[in-house]
Amino acid sequence: MDGERLFCDTALAARIERAEARLIAESSDAARVRRGDTVGFARPLAGGVASFAEADSPFTKIAGLGFAGLPDALDEVEAAFAQLGAPVQVELCQLADPALGGFFTGRGYRLESFENVLGRRVTDTDPAADVRLVRDDELERWLAEVADAFAVADTEGLPSHEDFPRQTVIDAMRDMAGVARYAAWRDGEFAGGASFRVTDGIAQFTGAATVPAHRRRGVQTALLRTRLAAAAAAGCDIAVVTTQPGSKSQENVQRQGFDLLYARAILVKGTSATSSSGADSRQAS
């Protein structure tokens, strides 16, 4: 790394949020393909996306708003969520139009939590020797191992606002569109997994989890280094990751040169999606 800090202005934030909205929309569509039905939606909304992938899915949310005016079709979107029996969860970027906060709270949305978005410039990085791409015939094991690791939350930092059933995590990771998946190994054992995808020159680090027995052994660092190397090879100029505030995962990525770019506020209307569900890119170190 060249040591240059990454400053996030509204233009960069809008670029990252567009990439996030695209990931959600494509993954929501993939969920319907997996099930073989047409239940749900992923529709554009004020520069972002409103998505219902399935009940309890991390891709059931509104995201990417705030850089193209106030949403003028929110009544229709709220009705669509209500018809499917789902609350409406909005992830609102800190650098979005300030008018949106009052707009949503005025409609009965309540602040439930925050998440942090961190980023760094992509430079040449040596991949870790004990991390490799997951083959197609290894996918089922990878999904199961990573889901089990996600289920054992790290105790450092604030507790996550998200708590997904195991099968929901597996389905969401399977549906995540366009990702490359990596597995880390220690002493011949599966130690952790992670994924990333490329959207318009942004390397989106779309989740990582370490098996509890292998935590605090450098597994997350190895997975980060390898994905940064892959991002450089893919021609990305920045990499981004989302973490729980004050978490061990945030500490890990900051040690690898990631800067805190902005926070997202989690606003919910209706019965909370996060009390029994509510892991796309959230990390379990």
Q: Is the pLDDT of residue 262 over 70?
A: yes
Q: How confident is the model at residue 4 (pLDDT cuts 50, 70, 90)?
A: confident
Structural domain of residue 238, as residue ranges? 121-261+279-284
Chosen domain end from 63, 84, 116: 116
Instruction: Return the pLDDT at 227.
Output: 97
Instruction: Return the pLDDT at 272.
Output: 52
Mean pLDDT across the stretch 39-65?
96
Higher pLDDT, 71 or 151: 71
Instruction: Return the pLDDT at 164.
Output: 80
Contact yes or no for 197/23 (Cβ under 8 A): yes
Question: Which strand (E) or helix (H) includes residue 258?
Answer: none
**Residue 37 domain flag:** yes
**Residue 5 domain flag:** no
Q: For residue range 204-240, list pLDDT tens digits in order.
A: 999 899 999 999 889 999 999 999 999 999 999 999 9
Is residue 32 domain-shared with residue 54, that is, in the same domain?
Answer: yes
Count the Cβ atoms, other than its own, within 10 Å of residue 73.
13
Mean pLDDT across the stretch 244-251?
90
Residue 105 structure tokens: 């709270």
Q: Please count the structural domains in the chain.
A: 2
Q: For residue range 102-121, list pLDDT tens digits in order.
A: 999 999 999 999 999 999 99
**Residue 271 domain flag:** no
Instruction: Return the pLDDT at 284.
Output: 54
Q: How confident is the model at residue 283 (pLDDT cuts 50, 70, 90)?
A: low
Query: pLDDT > 90: what percent of the chain?
Result: 82
Residue 21 structure tokens: 């909205």
Q: Which residues pair with 283 in a beta bridge?
A: 208
Contact yes or no for 180/36 (Cβ under 8 A): no
Q: Is the pLDDT of residue 282 over 90?
A: no
Is residue 100 domain-shared with residue 130, that is, in the same domain?
Answer: no
**Residue 269 domain flag:** no
Is residue 97 domain-shared with residue 195, that is, in the same domain?
Answer: no
Contact yes or no for 80/41 (Cβ under 8 A): yes
Q: How confident is the model at residue 248 (pLDDT cuts 50, 70, 90)?
A: confident
Is residue 101 domain-shared with residue 183, that is, in the same domain?
Answer: no
Contact yes or no for 247/257 (Cβ under 8 A): no
Is residue 127 domain-shared with residue 107, that is, in the same domain?
Answer: no
Chosen domain end from 52, 82, 116: 116
Q: For residue range 170-212, list pLDDT tens digits in order.
A: 999 999 999 999 999 999 999 999 999 999 999 999 989 999 9
Q: Is the pLDDT of residue 259 over 50?
A: yes
- For 83-88, which contacts have Cβ atoms below 8 Å and span 24 or more sequence positions? 84/39, 84/40, 84/52, 84/55, 85/55, 86/52, 86/55, 86/60, 86/270, 86/273, 87/268, 87/269, 87/270, 87/271, 87/272, 87/273, 88/62, 88/268, 88/269, 88/270
Q: Which of 102-106, 155-159, 236-240, 264-268 has the lowest mean pLDDT?
A: 155-159
Is residue 127 domain-shared with residue 257, that is, in the same domain?
Answer: yes
Angle at 241 (CA atoms; ends 164, 20), nearest 5 degrees: 75
Closest among 174, 184, 178, 281 to 226, alpha carbons compared: 184
Q: For residue range 77-88, list pLDDT tens digits in order.
A: 999 999 999 999
Instruction: Return the pLDDT at 122.
Output: 96
Question: What CATH number is attached to the domain comprising 174?
Answer: 3.40.630.30
